[in-house]
Structure 1
Amino acid sequence: MKALQGSEGRPTLIECETPNCEAGQVRIRVVAAGLNRADLLQAAGLYPPPPGVTDVLGLECAGVISEVSERSAWKVGDRVCALLAGGGMAEEVCVDERHILPVPEGLSLLEAAAIPEVYATAWLNIFQLGQVQPGEKVLIHAGASGVGSAAIQLCKAFASPCWVSVGSAERLAYCVDLGAEGGVVRGDNIEGLHDFAPFDVILDPVGANYAAQNLKMLAMEGRWVNIGLMGGRRAELDLAQLLGKRIKLIGSTLRSRSDDFKGQLMAQLAEKAWPLFTQGKLLAQVDEVFAWDDADAAFARLASNQVNGKVVLHISEE
């Protein structure tokens, strides 16, 4: 089959063996795959897949089931989207059946490919680890990103007002339209966020550059969930603030979690979030769709940091 692999810093279309469908897995004929920053890092040689995981790119996809295991609850022909540790940017992928969800009613497969990774990430880090409660205030850095777009909508749906930091006035308007209360443009310095502080939960993919300000802006018993290092990996912190406010600093990744953990996370998403797509309270935010043989342009688009929501690769027709 054809698949995309990282080679010399860029995505490369290759021929590789079709994966085997193991017990407890389903085979998906992939129609579309969401592009994530992890794919950029992997293609650049900076983020290898976990042990035992394919080096084919792609952490989420949508398509049609073409093979099921014995006694599976799924059937051939079901339209699904999947959370993956890798392998989504290929003609076929085999995945633990606990890691797939039905395509929400009213969504195309191109739209569905843009939701598993970002909604799972937002739900895990704000609602499970951050333990946000209705009425608590949330700060989302990189609010116009795929994860940020999902996080804003989830916060609005579950009655937790949120604010954002973003890269432009246009992206701030995009976030407010999704449901954010407001925020600041990074070029204006994120100190402007102090006007909206204190925050109970901060979702932070930036890291070092925002660390000192995060501590200042967190409320008593605040939760700072760090999910990325876009702004560097080393920072000097005033630990007296961490102690005095009883702040929880939580480091979090999703890709390397166990299959059981991901299965439980997807089950919670199915219960809590998936009905909201049908109700129109959650939306797939697709910025642009690229043919997968134009992957270079897709990766460049995401790397530009000008994307509102998600970039999607169109792999095949439904």
Structure 2
Amino acid sequence: MSYHFIHIEDPETLSIQQGDDLQCRADEVVIDVAYAGLNRADVLQRMGLYPPPPDASKVMGLEVSGCIKVAGEESGFSVGERVCALVHGGGYATQAVAKAVCTMRTPEGVDDLTAACLPEAFLTVWYNVIVRASLKAGETLLVHGGVSGIGNIAVQLAKSMGCKVIATAGTPEKCSILDRLGADISLNYSASSLTQQCQEHGVMGEVDVVLDMVGGDFEQFNLECLAVDGRIACIGLMRGGQATIDLTQLLMKRATLTGSTLRRLTPSEKARCFEEVEAHMMPLVAAGAMTPLVDRVYDLPDALDAQTYMASGGHAGKLLLKCAS
């Protein structure tokens, strides 16, 4: 038995277990996992706050990179191909099963570590910023949590589209990272009110799209900073799920507030988005025009330490688990 995976004993205890090699359906692949990406959904799952769907693996982990170990006969892939994939759970392991439509070939010159940063961030950014919020070339995007695994990809994608990018972070050091990523305006929400800072930069009421992964007390600011016909895409609630907003702003600005979670996307929606991501975003990585920000890499048995660090909020960029021996 060469398959090893992280098992949740209780919210404060993770163990490494082993089992039989994984098998897959005709439209799936089994991946020998090189790296698995960490996401906040994993932390919530460990704490019992985000249980996996009935048809999902109980093992944590939503994205992986590695090589095809088994290729289903209808998958379109071959054994040995280097890939990265969004998985329906099961990423914290040495093997993972992925739908072929949620699997992308890793371009030549892109290593497995970089590839593991892409599937969840690419799908989240593309679906929320491009599909739901309809960001267009030349518009202004505000990204909360700009140095997060998702945030840094959103900043880089928007800049590649010729957009103006405003991004927030909580320390001067993280704001410096945002500057290096290409953000036009970096806002330190710990220094002074975001409203005041936007007024000083002359961008209050000028934002076309907000990518919001914090919610809570930031929501009223999001409305106030919007331009007419602005759109807010809410994808996380780090500052809480309750917000008091002035609905007058919503009406006067003809604003749109939308939200989503990846696990609620239908298979057909995921398949369509991955086709678009592979066509429009993966070439940016292959050309060196987009480089995901990486903070730290942990060995698979150290998954709890990695999640503890993620929960602290101290990281800047993606956290990864090295799963290959």
TM-score strictly above 0.5: yes
State the number of aligned residues. Answer: 317
- Tell me whether 1:205 sits opposite 2:209 in the alignment: no
- Tell me whether 1:162 sits opposite 2:170 in the alignment: no
Cα distance in 1 between the residues matched to 2:83 and 2:59: 20
Unaligned residue ranges in structure 2 (runs of 5+)? none
Q: Aligned-pair distance for 1:17?
A: 4.9
Q: Aligned-pair distance for 1:255?
A: 2.2
**1:94 paired residue number:** 97
C-alpha contact 1:7 1:43 (8 A) present in aligned 2: no
User: Alignment identity in percent?
Assistant: 36
**1:65 paired residue number:** 68
- Tell me whether 1:8 sits opposite 2:10 in the alignment: yes
- Tell me whether 1:181 sits opposite 2:184 in the alignment: yes
C-alpha contact 1:6 1:42 (8 A) present in aligned 2: no
3-state DSSP of counterpart to 1:261: helix
Q: Aligned-pair distance for 1:246?
A: 0.4
C-alpha contact 1:223 1:249 (8 A) present in aligned 2: yes
**2:121 paired residue number:** 118
**1:311 paired residue number:** 319
Cα distance in 2 between the residues matched to 1:40 and 1:2: 20
**1:75 paired residue number:** 78
Cα distance in 2 between the residues matched to 1:302 and 1:178: 21
Letter in 1 for 2:218: Y
Cα distance in 2 between the residues matched to 1:95 and 1:44: 24
Alignment of 1:272-287 (within 5 A): 272-287=280-295
3-state DSSP of counterpart to 1:142: coil
Q: Aligned-pair distance for 1:304?
A: 1.9
C-alpha contact 2:87 2:97 (8 A) present in aligned 1: no
Letter in 1 for 2:320: V
Letter in 2 for 1:134: A
**TM-score, length basis structure 2:** 0.94
3-state DSSP of counterpart to 1:219: strand
Over the residues paired in the alignment, what is the CA RMSD in angstroms? 1.4
Q: Aligned-pair distance for 1:16?
A: 4.2
Q: Aligned-pair distance for 1:18?
A: 4.1
- Tell me whether 1:237 sits opposite 2:245 in the alignment: yes
Q: Aligned-pair distance for 1:184?
A: 1.3
C-alpha contact 1:6 1:44 (8 A) present in aligned 2: no
Cα distance in 1 between the residues matched to 2:74 and 2:54: 28
Cα distance in 2 between the residues matched to 1:121 and 1:72: 23
- Tell me whether 1:36 sits opposite 2:39 in the alignment: yes
Q: Aligned-pair distance for 1:54?
A: 0.9
3-state DSSP of counterpart to 1:290: strand
C-alpha distance 295-72 of structure 1, shift in aligned 2 (>3 A): closer
**1:107 paired residue number:** 110
Letter in 2 for 1:80: V
Cα distance in 2 between the residues matched to 1:284 and 1:233: 28
C-alpha contact 1:183 1:193 (8 A) present in aligned 2: no
Cα distance in 1 between the residues matched to 2:321 and 2:133: 31
Cα distance in 2 between the residues matched to 1:307 and 1:222: 30
Q: Aligned-pair distance for 1:296?
A: 2.0
- Tell me whether 1:190 sits opposite 2:194 in the alignment: yes
Letter in 2 for 1:6: I
**1:264 paired residue number:** 272
Q: Aligned-pair distance for 1:7?
A: 3.3
3-state DSSP of counterpart to 1:90: coil
Cα distance in 2 between the residues matched to 1:105 and 1:140: 30
Cα distance in 1 between the residues matched to 2:233 and 2:168: 15
Cα distance in 1 between the residues matched to 2:271 and 2:139: 28
C-alpha distance 186-17 of structure 1, shift in aligned 2 (>3 A): farther
C-alpha contact 1:60 1:83 (8 A) present in aligned 2: yes
CA displacement, residues 239-298 of structure 1 (integer Å, 9 cap, x when unaligned): 111011100000111122111111111110010111111211111221111111111221
Unaligned residue ranges in structure 1 (runs of 5+)? none
Cα distance in 1 between the residues matched to 2:259 and 2:322: 33
Cα distance in 2 between the residues matched to 1:190 and 1:54: 40
C-alpha contact 1:25 1:68 (8 A) present in aligned 2: yes
Q: Aligned-pair distance for 1:179?
A: 1.1
- Tell me whether 1:127 sits opposite 2:135 in the alignment: no
C-alpha contact 2:293 2:316 (8 A) present in aligned 1: yes
**1:85 paired residue number:** 88
